Amino acid sequence: MNPTSAHDQEGNQMSAAPTRDLLVVGAGIAGMYAVHKATESGLDVLGLEAGSDVGGTWYFNRYPGARCDVESVDYSYSFDRELEKEWQWSERFATQAEIWSYLDHVADRYRIRERFLFDTRVADAVFDEATSTWSVTTEAGETHRAKFLMMATGSLSEPIKPRLAGVDSFAGETYFTAMWPHEPVDLTGKRVGLIGTGSSGIQAAPIVARQARSLTIFQRTANYTVPAPNRVFTEEDQRKIQEEYPHRREVSAYAAAASPHVSHTKKATEVDAEERRAAFEARWAEGGVLFSKTFPDQSSDIVANDYAREFAEQKIREIVQDPQVADDLIPKDYPIGTKRIVTDSGYYEMFNRDNVELVNLRRDPITEVTDWGIKTEQGSYELDVIIFATGFDALTGALTRIDPKGARGARLSDVWADGPVTYLGMGIPGFPNLFSISGPGAPGVLANMMTHSEQQVDWCLALLQTCHEQGIDTAEPRQDAAEKWTEHLEEVASKTLFVRAASWYMGANIEGKKQTFMPYIGGFGTFRKMCDDVRDAGFEGYVLTTNGGGQ
């Protein structure tokens, strides 16, 4: 540690404090790996985490039914073959509890917790140009300093509370799926209302329906969901998983979604009806989000997309007995797959239960939340419990809430007012020595977060090490490089159907947020190759400066 004297934005000298090599914000998948890898590389690193323990998304989202929609064997770190060998997943799609146990195991195995401060929420981050250091202030008023700052703050970590009239007046129990209590929640015999039918609401609903006296689902936008034929792994499965791991990892490392799955070799528009149906049937049986990738043209050609949509609609009508409910469950206003297809466990079947009711808010909007329940234009619903599964200020929310102050007076909320501008998702012009992990501009939420996090963290630490070795004080992406990357990202997205959906990928779920497709949709493998090339070219697109002179 080097004691330095930092300055605030007005140029006043601030009290001396140790300056570390790196501060990592967030103890989720990326932050845990970053802290471990940085320590292994001999860097002085400190992690700061708002929660009381590691896990990020998997620490907070412990609502009933929470599972990952990426298969468990892929949703695990690949950096250590020994770790891979000693961990056995029990099911094909892991529960939140099992994923958290895995992350707990990783934290113990690599002694990650001792390098984190928990219950430490970052309130502010300021770059001091005189010393090329970041000062990070916590809500408790402590200040930490480092040469580099990595924001591993998550893509879906800033939950939103819906702006409904009277939302705080409800006298019963309220829960947010993204902030579910650690203590068991007993819904037995209760009248439960659930607002929100994204992944969280759809996963929670069937379990709530089994416990509660009644479940009323308030649906504003219907979501496509494909049931996961989950199963417990046998001894034989475990043997095969281990045998296939090295190959599986190799294929995933440069795959489109960082998982080993591939689409049909032909386009949906090139095959006959029989072949098309067989392919959709096979993918439906495999289950989950990958249905959106049955054919390679499904997300870019509306004709191909319509084939997939019609197939899914037929499935919904086959499962749901009440034709009106089935119709309400069929999305009407966006192509299938342009909002992430949910991976569920018995969602459509649940509507055949007597204690489940669907309220279509498009026909009958909520007018008010009262102390006794929810009022809609046409009805009144008396409730004991309201569960909010109402989503997140995705991709940018966690960063803009902290609102880092960079060089030359740059403030992130101003710089991104017209949509996020990044260089490869990881660098932001105006914010030297700051790394953003899985935020806007990267494949992030469109890829397997485990592999994606490892790739981004490795790349950022390679840049940090280059600076370290060459005595470089600041690394900042050029404005023109970031603009070019952002234009490329928009151009790639514009060729897909994703821009037709009012999704959180587009920022459409937040009032006043600039609507632009935020993740890079050109594929994880393509992205990784581009990042490799930039790194191998000496971090082209970055300005690397030593104090007192540029390079």
Residue numbers at the binding site for ligand NA7 (CB under 6 A): 156, 162, 164, 195-201, 218, 220-221, 340, 361, 389-391, 445, 504, 509
Q: In the complex with ligand NA7, which residue's Cβ is closer, 7 or 220?
A: 220
Q: What are phi and psi of 137, to 5 degrees?
A: -110, 135
Write out 337-359 in H/E/C secondary structure: CCCCCEEECCHHHHCCCCCEEEE
Q: Which residue is at the shortest CB distance from ligand NA7?
A: 198
CA angle in degrees (0–180, nearest 5) for 43-47-52: 155
Q: In the complex with ligand NA7, which residue's Cβ is closer, 201 or 477?
A: 201
DSSP letters along 84-119, please?
A: HHH---SBSS-BHHHHHHHHHHHHHHTT-GGGEE-S
**Minimum distance, C-beta of residue 343 to ligand NA7, in the bound complex (Å):** 9
Task: Please answer whether residues 25 and 457 qualify as being in contact, where contact means their C-beta atoms are separated by less than 8 angstroms.
Answer: no
| HSE toward the beta carbon, residue 464, CA cutoff 13 A | 29
Q: In the complex with ligand NA7, which residue's Cβ is closer, 151 or 445?
A: 445
Q: In the complex with ligand NA7, which residue's Cβ is closer, 255 or 501?
A: 501
Q: State the amino acid at position 91 in one-letter form.
A: E
**Minimum distance, C-beta of residue 387 to ligand NA7, in the bound complex (Å):** 11
CA–CA separation, 515 vs 306, rounded Å? 25
Q: Which residues in 257-276 are b (16+ Cβ under 10 Å) and which e?
A: bbbbbebbeebbeebeeeeb
Q: In the complex with ligand NA7, which residue's Cβ is closer, 196 or 335?
A: 196
Cβ count near 505 (within 10 Å): 25
Q: In the complex with ligand NA7, which residue's Cβ is closer, 162 or 346?
A: 162
Facing residues of 126 across strands?
A: 135, 405
DSSP letters along 403-442, please?
A: --B-GGG-BHHHHTTTS---BTTTB-TT-TTEEE-SSTTS
**Minimum distance, C-beta of residue 204 to ligand NA7, in the bound complex (Å):** 9
Scanning the structure block, which residue is given the tokens 């004709």?
303
CA–CA separation, 177 vs 63, rounded Å? 5
**Minimum distance, C-beta of residue 75 to ligand NA7, in the bound complex (Å):** 12
Facing residues of 127 across strands?
A: 134
Q: In the complex with ligand NA7, which residue's Cβ is closer, 156 or 402?
A: 156
**Minimum distance, C-beta of residue 362 to ligand NA7, in the bound complex (Å):** 9
Task: Kindly give, in sequence order, each residue whose CB lies less than 8 Å from that of residue 536, ignoring residues fewer than 6 positions away.
Answer: none
CA–CA separation, 242 vs 255, rounded Å? 20
Q: In the complex with ligand NA7, which residue's Cβ is closer, 342 or 475?
A: 342
**Minimum distance, C-beta of residue 517 to ligand NA7, in the bound complex (Å):** 15
Q: State the amino acid at position 34 in one-letter form.
A: A
**Minimum distance, C-beta of residue 119 to ligand NA7, in the bound complex (Å):** 24
Q: In the complex with ligand NA7, which residue's Cβ is closer, 220 or 249?
A: 220
Structure tokens at 459: 């790349």
Q: In the complex with ligand NA7, which residue's Cβ is closer, 73 or 156?
A: 156
Task: Please answer whether residues 477 and 541 qualify as being in contact, where contact means their C-beta atoms are separated by less than 8 angstroms.
Answer: yes
Q: In the complex with ligand NA7, which residue's Cβ is closer, 177 or 252?
A: 177
Cβ count near 96 (within 10 Å): 22
Q: In the complex with ligand NA7, which residue's Cβ is closer, 19 or 360?
A: 360
**Minimum distance, C-beta of residue 86 to ligand NA7, in the bound complex (Å):** 28
Strand 542-546 vs strand 549-550: parallel, antiparallel, or unpaired?
A: antiparallel
- Burial (Cβ within 10 Å: 0-12, 13-18, ≥19) of residue 513: buried
CA–CA separation, 299 vs 295, rounded Å? 9
**Minimum distance, C-beta of residue 153 to ligand NA7, in the bound complex (Å):** 15
